[in-house]
Amino acid sequence: MSIRINEEDGVRYLQFDPHWIQGAMRLSRPWSLELDYTREMMMALLMRRDRNWPGSVLQIGLGAASITRFLHRNLSKAKLEVVEIDYEVVLNAWQFFRLPEESARLKIEIADGYKYMATTRRKFDLILVDGFDARGRAGQLHSLPFYRLCRARLNSGGMMVTNLLSRGRHAKPNADPIRNAFDDRVLVLPPCDANTVVVAKIGAPIRVTIANLRASAHKLKARTGLNLLPTISRLGSDTLLL
């Protein structure tokens, strides 16, 4: 796989293919989330009122390490584990995208995401899935067996967030494997360009109003700089049940 590093207007991009951007970092704000969909993958942080949640996070697919940098900076008590299939991606993230060094808080595993989920016995509060090949294909990372493995590796009340990529302009992402694995306990966010973020949950249901989400978003913005208010404004319901 050929890895390309490009810079334009103060933003550094990671690409596996000229047509697909795999990650980005604004050089003046390396700890922020530059791409819209990476911001939306943080929606789970608004669904829980406990500021100590999540205590453990599994990230499958490293890319330009945007999500890793954000979580490492802003969730100081959380333990992060990243599973990335390609060691070259990790090397580039260290060299060009300010990926923090491994520590007691951050572990990086070079492995196939599906095989890792099939063999690990660890459990996590939050699982984030954003893994694609050079052609934008998720492969087994978007399958019913994989999502069932993710569900089995969540702690009580845990959540999984995944990014679905639409290959055509008018193509709709298929969230059915996630719905089936999580008994339809899912929130499908409105599409953001070619990306659609899906939040899935286990455990006791959460009922949250848009007003409460906005209040939580204001607090998160004040604490981290992340602004999820535009995403909330695109949701159609007054109350969400997950």
pLDDT-derived band at 222 (thresholds 50, 70, 90) equals very high
> What's the pLDDT score for residue 241?
80
CATH number for the segment(s) 31-237: 3.40.50.150
> What's the pLDDT score for residue 1?
62
What is the pTM for the complete model shown? 0.96
pLDDT tens, position by position, 139-191: 999 999 999 999 999 999 999 999 998 765 556 789 999 999 999 999 999 99
> What's the pLDDT score for residue 16?
85
CA atoms lying within 13 Å on the CB side of residue 53 = 18
pLDDT-derived band at 109 (thresholds 50, 70, 90) equals very high
CA angle 212, 213, 218 (to 5 degrees): 100
pLDDT-derived band at 135 (thresholds 50, 70, 90) equals confident
Mean pLDDT of the 36-60 span = 93
Q: Which residues contact 170 (CB under 8 A, 6 or more apart)?
A: none
The total of other beta-carbon atoms located within 10 Å of residue 174's CB is: 12
Listed by start position, the domains of the chain span: 31-237
> What's the pLDDT score for residue 195?
92
More confident call, 103 vs 172? 103
- Report the alpha-carbon distance of residue 36 to residue 4 in Å, rounded: 21
Burial 90-127 (b: 16+ CB within 10 A, else e): bebbeebbbbbeeeeebebeeebbbebbeebeeebbbb
> What's the pLDDT score for residue 197?
96
Residue located via tokens 């580039």? 92
